[in-house]
Each structure stands twice: as structure tokens, then as C-alpha cells.
Amino acid sequence: MTAPTRPEAAAALRAGRPPLVLLAALVVMALMAGLFWTWDISVMPGLARLDDRTFVTTMQALDAAIDNTGFSLVLWGALVLTAVTTVIERRAGRRRAGRWIVAALVLYLAALMVTGAVHLPLNAAISAVDASAPAPVLARARAAFEGPWRAANPLRTAFCVVAVACLGRALALPRR
Amino acid sequence: MTGLAPVAAAAAPVAGAALGGLYLAFDLAVLPALARPAVRVGDREPSDRAAETMRAINVAIVRPSFLALLLATPALAVAAAALRPGPLTVAAAVLQLAGLAITVAVNVPLNDRLARDRDAAAWARFLGPWRHAHRVRTAAVIGAALLGATAGLDTSGTGAS
């Protein structure tokens, strides 16, 4: 048995290094999936049972009160961690893992695009409504909001769930 | 292949993080919105609307998919600890069981009381205790997911599984 050369030892050390960033990306991506899913199974079906004025005031309160620091940390954390781990795996020459992580990155970008294209404009529109307006105004505002918002949300949940699966697949590959 | 151990080791933190994300939505958005001192709109008190909204959300969430995640998460954490005992997997299982215990002992009874009570102070009695207990279970469940993921590092680094 011969001692490994210095570059060999360094390579072995690198290969054996635990994929910390990949694991962190997986956990934060699963957090995002759970966050979006809450709106599918609880918040929006619950609000569907409320009268128009309560619906509009609650959506306005949600838009105004959301903890943007905490939420941004998770939202951008998932993006940054996935992007960084793409670079790490590619540099390490693990091309198969790299492909799965790129797939996760693309899926997550799609979820963010749905958010930007559908949810943010709808939130802004309903927040601009005068909550003390007459009933027909509130009914119209709700009708324009609720259907598209609810239809698009399972998309971002699904994108995140499949991204979690892609990251899990990358993690399960043998690390050489 | 060592059978179920790697499956449980991977599934437990993923389920924990998904449940943690679900809880986080309440910490970061739903409760801050409902606790917000709102201006009186129309003929109803803001606290009355908040209570009605929380009741409706609580009714909506009781469904098989959520109950499956709620119960599978601690079950997977316990399975991961039993199949591969270690300080991290055991701590993750204990935290997941603590999260479930808080749900059963505090949040569910408070939900039931809010569903039943219709007096003006019902919302005030609900909000503080529920939110506090909810923060603790969110931290427990996300903490468990991080511990479980860290425990998975030992084996995923070698490719031996």
C-alpha cells in the first residue's frame, strides 16, 4: 500500500466532503413547497367561505403584514443555494448530479416567474381596492382576483415539489 | 443497499421541511395579518373578521393530505432514528414528537375553543397562546429537519448507501 500523492489526497478529501450546500438547498426548497402548499390546502379554501368584504380586507392584511424579511430569506435562499450548488457540482466534475440540480433551478425559476406574472400583480390590484367601497365593487375585485390566484398557486407548489425531487435525486447519486 | 434506512434518512428531513414551510406560512403571513390592528370596515369588528377567517382556515386544512404529512413527519423521524440511531437522528425524532405534542396539547384545543366560542373576547383568548405555541412547533419541526439532514451527511458523502 502506497501513500496517496498530495493531489490525489486532496481530490479524495474534496469528493468525501459532505454536500452541505446541496442539503441546505434541499431543505429550503422543501420549506418553499410547504409554504406555497399552505395556500392551496388551507388559506385560500378557507377564505373562499368568507363574504366579499372580509375576503378583500383579509387579502389586503396578508399583503401588508407578511414578514418580508423572513419570507425573502427563504425565497431567495432557495434560489441562491440551488444556484451555488450547481456551480459546486459542475466544478467537481459531477455532471449527472449537476444536470439534476440545473433542472431544480429551472423549476424554481418557473415558480418565481408564476409569482411575478400572476400573484404579485393580483396582490397589488386587490390592495388598491377601497375596502369600504359598495358591495358590487368588492364583489368585482374578488372575482378578478380569486380565480386566477388560486388556479396559478398549485403550479408553483408543484414546481417546488418536483425541484425537491430533483435535488434529492442529485443527492442520492454516488459521489466520486 | 441497506433497505429502508437511507429512504427514511432522506424522507424524514424532507417531510419535516415541508411541514415546517407550511407552519412558516402561518408565522410569516397568516397570523401577522390576522393580528394586525385593522381599521374597522363595514359593520363588523376587525377581531370578529379575524376569528371568522381563522375558523374557516382551520376547517379547510383538515383533509387527508395534511393529516398524512402531520403524522408521517414524526413517524419518519422516529423510523430514521430507529434504523440508524445516533445523536442527530434521535434529537430530530424527539423534536418532531415535541412538535406533534404541542399540536395535540395546545393548538388543536385552542382551534376547537375558537370554533365553539362566539363571544367578543374569543379572538383575544385565542391569538396570543396559539401564536406562541405555533412559533415553538415551527422551530421544533424546522430544527428537526436540519438535524435530520445533517445526520444524512454521514452516509450520503460516501455513496455507501
Per-residue pLDDT, A11: 55
Q: Count CB pairs under 8 A between chains A and B.
A: 162
Residues of chain B with pLDDT under 70: 1-2, 37-39, 41-42, 154-161
Alpha-carbon span B159 to B161, nearest angstrom: 5
Stated pTM of the model: 0.91
Closest chain A residue to B67, measured at CA: A41
Q: Any CB–CB contact under 8 A between A165 and chain B?
A: no
In contact, B46 and B124? CB cutoff 8 Å:
no
In contact, B21 and A31? CB cutoff 8 Å:
yes
A contact test, residue of B57, B63, B107, B158 with most A CBs within 10 A: B57
Alpha-carbon span B137 to B15, nearest angstrom: 14
Per-residue pLDDT, B161: 36
Per-residue pLDDT, B160: 36
Question: What number of residues does chain B have?
Answer: 161
Nearest CB to A46; choose among B14, B17, B56: B56
Tens of pLDDT, residues A72-99: 999 999 999 999 999 999 899 999 999 9
Contacts of B135 in chain A (CB under 8 A): none
Per-residue pLDDT tens, chain A, 176 aa: give them: 455 555 555 554 455 566 889 999 999 999 999 999 999 999 999 999 999 999 999 999 999 988 889 999 999 999 999 999 999 998 999 999 999 999 999 999 999 999 999 999 999 999 999 999 999 999 999 999 999 999 999 999 999 999 999 999 998 888 76
Per-residue pLDDT, B1: 45
The tally of CA atoms less than 13 A away on the side-chain side of residue A123 is 14
Return the sign of the alpha-carbon dihedral for residues B23, A157, A103, B7.
positive
Q: What ipTM was assigned to the predicted interfaces of this complex?
A: 0.91
Q: Any CB–CB contact under 8 A between A13 and chain B?
A: no
In contact, A18 and B153? CB cutoff 8 Å:
yes
Tens of pLDDT, residues B125-160: 999 999 999 999 999 999 999 999 999 776 544 433
**Residue with cell string 429550503:** A28
Residues 6+ apart with CB under 8 A from B47: B120, B123, B124
Alpha-carbon span A141 to A128, nearest angstrom: 10
Q: Any CB–CB contact under 8 A between A32 and chain B?
A: yes
Alpha-carbon span A47 to B40, nearest angstrom: 19
In contact, B55 and B117? CB cutoff 8 Å:
no
Nearest CB to A18; choose among B30, B32, B157: B157
**Residue with cell string 400583480:** A121
Alpha-carbon span A86 to A102, nearest angstrom: 6
Q: How far is CA A91 from the centre of its chain?
A: 25
CB contact under 8 A, A46 and B18: no
A contact test, residue of B156, B158, B161 with most A CBs within 10 A: B156
Residues 6+ apart with CB under 8 A from A161: A33
B contact test, residue of A17, A29, A41 with most B CBs within 10 A: A41
Q: How far is A166 from chain B (nearest CA, A)?
A: 12
Q: How far is A140 from chain B (nearest CA, A)?
A: 17
Q: How far is A84 from chain B (nearest CA, A)?
A: 18
Task: Show which of residues 83-142 on chain B sit within 8 Å of chain A, judged by CB atoms.
Answer: 142
Per-residue pLDDT, A15: 56
CB contact under 8 A, B60 and A45: yes
Q: Any CB–CB contact under 8 A between A154 and chain B?
A: no
Alpha-carbon span B22 to B137, nearest angstrom: 11
